[in-house]
Structure 1
């Protein structure tokens, strides 16, 4: 796992023509913006800026801004299948370095990716989740999912949870086998907050 500002060509977010990233502001600056602007007030509320909660403390020396704590695959239509949960932090809140992520998915199973994450230090705008899946060095799937904009977590909202659309795993002798993938969390400024390699197998 790594945090870097470099994006490989395989996982470059799509650019929207005419869209420009707004000027970066601190939390205090956002809080002082025109309170009479209803749409602005709603947007600030969606970030949690109108909350009365206390911002969660950040460990000394922890400069991470987006902290992904857990990834999981859930099977909402198949309660007999146990969720696949991948913890990316230990009980002390430290990133688990060099964690090998490998699991199996049964063919034709309906699964849903669930991500849990925290925001620290500053507001993050235009956060996106991207992943690329390859088999034998050839890309077979690419996902780009907007996650939104977020303020740092508070004691009232200590973790953010994002649930993705349900997906059916491919099936058949051609689909079965091993796949490699990489996931990235990227914001409007093209900062890569997490780059996470993983692998999985489609099984009968």
Structure 2
């Protein structure tokens, strides 16, 4: 992906990868299980993390070659139903679905995803928020490394406080990116929320 197309989505190279960080070499599940077999405690730890050594790779969607399939983004506010964005359809339509957030509330962002085929290392969620085209906030969360599973896995960000006050109310656009240590862009999408005095 070109630098120009990253910039269009508010995502730049420094968001995807820290130039001073060198990720560990990528290993398959078979390679990880084969190392240190004589160390019983380490073998048990790896089996607890990865499950028993798999006779075949876990493939949830054979037609999808990606290792990470991002399914859903949700805004989680205590005492309210989660507000969800389906990330499996036409991503260009997401901006039309505007989340309304009451000013000053605490919320978390949840990302639901599936890992298939191989372990994915150093997943990272990057979110840049703009108002009237001007950047106003950036979050980067280290999601972690995940083994393949048939079940949906998720990451929940720490609590954030929505801006409050007359000047904070209005519409915000967000550029989100799900990437990893190896600079694979698993998904990037744009979405919108509106800060209001109340929920309606």
Q: Do Structure 1 and Structure 2 share a fold, with TM-score over 0.5?
A: yes
Distance in 1, matches of 2:2 and 2:29, equals 23
For the residues of structure 1 that align with 2:181 and 2:103, how far apart are their CA atoms?
Answer: 35
Match of 1:28, SS state, is helix
2:118 to 116, 122, 147: 122
Hey, what does 1:187 align to over in structure 2? 180
In the comparison of the two structures, how many residue pairs are matched? 189
Cα contact 2:23–2:181 (8 A) shared by 1: yes
Structure 2: runs of 5+ lacking an equivalent:
none
Match of 2:148 in 1: 152
Structure 2 residue aligned with 1:92: none
> Is 2:57–2:117's contact at 8 Å kept on the other side of the alignment?
no
Once residues 15 and 161 of structure 2 are traced to their aligned partners in structure 1, the CA distance between those partners, rounded to angstroms, is 25
Distance in 2, Cα, partners of 1:174 & 1:46: 50
Contact 1:109–1:168 (CA<8 Å) still a contact in 2? Answer: yes
If the length of structure 1 is used for normalisation, what is the TM-score?
0.80
Is the contact between residue 17 and residue 183 of structure 2 (CA under 8 Å) also seen in structure 1?
no
Which of 164, 179, 193 is matched with 1:200 structurally? 193
Gap change, CA 1:46 and 1:127, over 3 Å in 2: farther
Higher RCO (C-alpha under 8 Å, 6+ residues apart): 1
Deviations 1:19-56 (A, max 9, x none): 42222222211221113447854763564244779854
Look up the SS of the partner of 1:20 in the other structure.
coil
Aligned counterpart for 1:141 among listed residues 133, 137, 143: 137
Distance 1:105 1:33 in 2: 49
1:9 and 2:18 matched = no
- Name the structure where helix makes up a greater proportion of residues: 2
Work out whether 1:105 is the aligned partner of 2:101. yes
